[in-house]
Structure 1
Amino acid sequence: MRMRVLLLGGENRLGQALLAQAAAEFIQLEAVERPEQGWQPEMADDLLAGAKPDLVLNLAFYREQFQLGLEDTAALQAQQQFDERLIQGCASKSVTLMMLSSARVFDGSKTSSHTEKDAPQPIGALGRLQAQLEDSLRTQCPKHIILRFSWLLDTAPEGPFGQLIAGLKGPSPLMLPEEWRGNPTPVTDAARIILSVLKQLDCAASVYGTYHYGSSEVTTWIGFAQYVMQELIGRGLLTGDIAIQPVPFNSRPELRGRPQNAAVLGRKLMLVFGIKPRTWRSQLPALLDELEAELYK
């Protein structure tokens, strides 16, 4: 790759998946891991000055945004201060900035999948921050890519997928939200998308803008859980069906600030980049293989 790519957040699971796929294609990315004291605003200036990148890929707050879904003021303020400083620095140095966002920028009232033409209407603090950072990036930095995802899945115990697995293995009936819709997207698939975009940017393609991606097809969280349960039974990790009790979406405190419809349509990404979506069903076995490896290592 001719571009010098600076990856922020090389230690998290999405960063690790991306680095592994890049290495398999002999592509070198310069990765920076999360500092012990967290991402401080002044670090953005130091990183840009030291690495002199052509492109910055900001995965610094992947875990906070996509796995923990943190809504507390201190965490959001830390992310805002760092990301705004990074946007300003990339704009002043004419560096391309690629940033992640999510379906949280929508209120979820739409009955079909969200497209890039839909106006953001976030209902939670994290969604409002993501929408604000998107606006800042578009306004200040013409050379930018915003990638919005739906449900990103990794095997971290604290993430949505890890919590689902723990619930399926628990002794009590599993209470899951009714009609919570989205695209279950393994981080390996998200990493594939990011790497494909990077390769086209490396060819000097003028493809800046906002794009959606979600593994196909759209499903409910209960439908996804039932499919995962059958896979676990087939692997001998569950002895039988677990009772699932549907509950109102708004009754689940862990879903506060999330849109009930988190489904996104990646048609624009396919038309511009030629990147075809993969089904989450075909990728679930690999995700469960990774989970098993972690359980028994």
Structure 2
Amino acid sequence: MAINILLTDTGSPLGSGLRQRFESTTHRFVAEHPADLDWRDSAQVADYLDQIAPHLILNTTGWGEGAAVKPELLVAGARSLAKAVAGRDCAVVHLSSYRVFHGEGRVSHKEADVPKAETELSQVFSEAEAVLADALSRVLCLRSSWVLSTVGGSLLARLLADFQAGRATVVSDHWRGTPVLVSDVVRAVYAITQQIIYGADNWGVMHFGSSDVCSELVFAQKVREMIEAEIGQTLQLEELETPTDNSAVLELRRVRDNFGIQPRSWRQGLRPALRSWLKRTGYLEPAKAS
């Protein structure tokens, strides 16, 4: 049987990465939508789902890192999707974030921990998860720690933008996470969806991130070390002395137990991502054919 997979939004680095990965799938994959489609309008969404008849939806509507998050779209999109999908033979993989715990002051967060939604962003991400979980039986909410990409609002993108502008990046040695490259999140989502397609029946909240913890400062120092090794220039850093009670450290269990997905160190894959960015922005000359 042909499987129809729908990706709601490709505007973020994560959405774009998922599109690139899933376009090579043997299943029917839909990521191009009518220009006038409003994901906040449940009636429009329901009509669109009637046309596509998806078996699986990857929901990235409103998702982002840092300032790239679209709070109103995140919640309204989840609410209309929940209403439109209810009663259909369709599963949803919803991309969420460590931000559901933002402001709680815990050192790390387990999948079973109930978010208290202490900040505006944590409320937004928590509400988006809740409206889907309340309406649908087959929904998987995948929360990721810091998702790293060279564009957008991630910590890595911020470091590289400041490097280009010749200004120091303010980072904290207290703000800790289990950062993960966007390509690794894409890899995990693809593995999860393939198993769902072939009968996996694992739903609810799951966490994803790297296998090791670091602070913003430690991560930034590693990026600086790699840039200096490649081009001899130095990334300027300024340490924020004020302690923070936030943590993006996610404890991973269910993705390993239920889907066999093993996290890897955030250091793996970082150098190729940096080299690609340095070439694209002209800091490194492309290798010449001999």
Q: TM-score scaled by structure 1?
A: 0.85
Q: Judging changes above 3 Å, is the alpha-carbon distance between structure 1 residues 32 and 247 closer, same or farther for their aligned structure 2 residues? A: farther
Q: Separation in 2 of the partners of 1:28 and 1:52?
A: 11
Root-mean-square deviation (CA, aligned residues, Å) is 2.5
Identity of aligned residues (%): 24
Q: Separation in 1 of the partners of 2:281 and 2:33?
A: 25
Q: Separation in 1 of the partners of 2:261 and 2:220?
A: 27
CA drift at 1:16: 2.6
Q: Judging changes above 3 Å, is the alpha-carbon distance between structure 1 residues 17 and 77 closer, same or farther for their aligned structure 2 residues? A: closer
Q: Separation in 2 of the partners of 1:39 and 1:13?
A: 19
**What whole-Å deviation, never above 9, does each CA across 1:143-163 have from its counterpart, x for those lacking one?**
111000110111115443211
1:248-263 alignment runs, 5 A limit: 248-249=242-243, 260-263=246-249
Q: Judging changes above 3 Å, is the alpha-carbon distance between structure 1 residues 27 and 215 closer, same or farther for their aligned structure 2 residues? A: farther
**What whole-Å deviation, never above 9, does each CA across 1:36-65 have from its counterpart, x for those lacking one?**
786442442232121010111111222xx3
In structure 1, what is the equivalent of residue 62 of structure 2? 61
In structure 1, what is the equivalent of residue 106 of structure 2? 110
Structure 1 residues 163-172 or 51-60, which shifts more? 163-172
Q: Separation in 1 of the partners of 2:84 and 2:224?
A: 46
Q: Separation in 2 of the partners of 1:241 and 1:292?
A: 13
Asked if the contact 1:69/1:126 (under 8 Å) is kept, the reply is no
In structure 1, what is the equivalent of residue 87 of structure 2? 92
In structure 1, what is the equivalent of residue 30 of structure 2? 30
User: Of 267, 271, 276, which aligns to 1:285?
Assistant: 271
In structure 2, what is the equivalent of residue 4 of structure 1? 4
**What whole-Å deviation, never above 9, does each CA across 1:98-149 have from its counterpart, x for those lacking one?**
11111111134112x3111111112221211211222222211001110001
Q: Separation in 1 of the partners of 2:155 and 2:34?
A: 22
**What whole-Å deviation, never above 9, does each CA across 1:258-290 have from its counterpart, x for those lacking one?**
x62111022221011001112110110122133
In structure 2, what is the equivalent of residue 215 of structure 1? 210
Q: TM-score scaled by structure 2?
A: 0.87
In structure 2, what is the equivalent of residue 271 of structure 1? 257
Q: Separation in 1 of the partners of 2:272 and 2:258?
A: 28
Matched, 1:126 2:112: no
SS at the partner of 2:115? coil
Q: Judging changes above 3 Å, is the alpha-carbon distance between structure 1 residues 108 and 263 closer, same or farther for their aligned structure 2 residues? A: farther
Gaps of 5+ in 2: none
Gaps of 5+ in 1: 251-258
Asked if the contact 2:65/2:152 (under 8 Å) is kept, the reply is no
Matched, 1:246 2:245: no
Q: Separation in 2 of the partners of 1:37 and 1:50?
A: 13
1:219-238 alignment runs, 5 A limit: 219-236=214-231, 238=232
Q: Which amino acid aligns with 1:248?
A: T
Asked if the contact 2:173/2:218 (under 8 Å) is kept, the reply is no
Q: Separation in 1 of the partners of 2:226 and 2:261?
A: 28
Asked if the contact 1:168/1:229 (under 8 Å) is kept, the reply is no
Q: Which amino acid aligns with 1:124?
A: T
**What whole-Å deviation, never above 9, does each CA across 1:222-245 have from its counterpart, x for those lacking one?**
000000000000110x52463533
Asked if the contact 1:103/1:149 (under 8 Å) is kept, the reply is yes
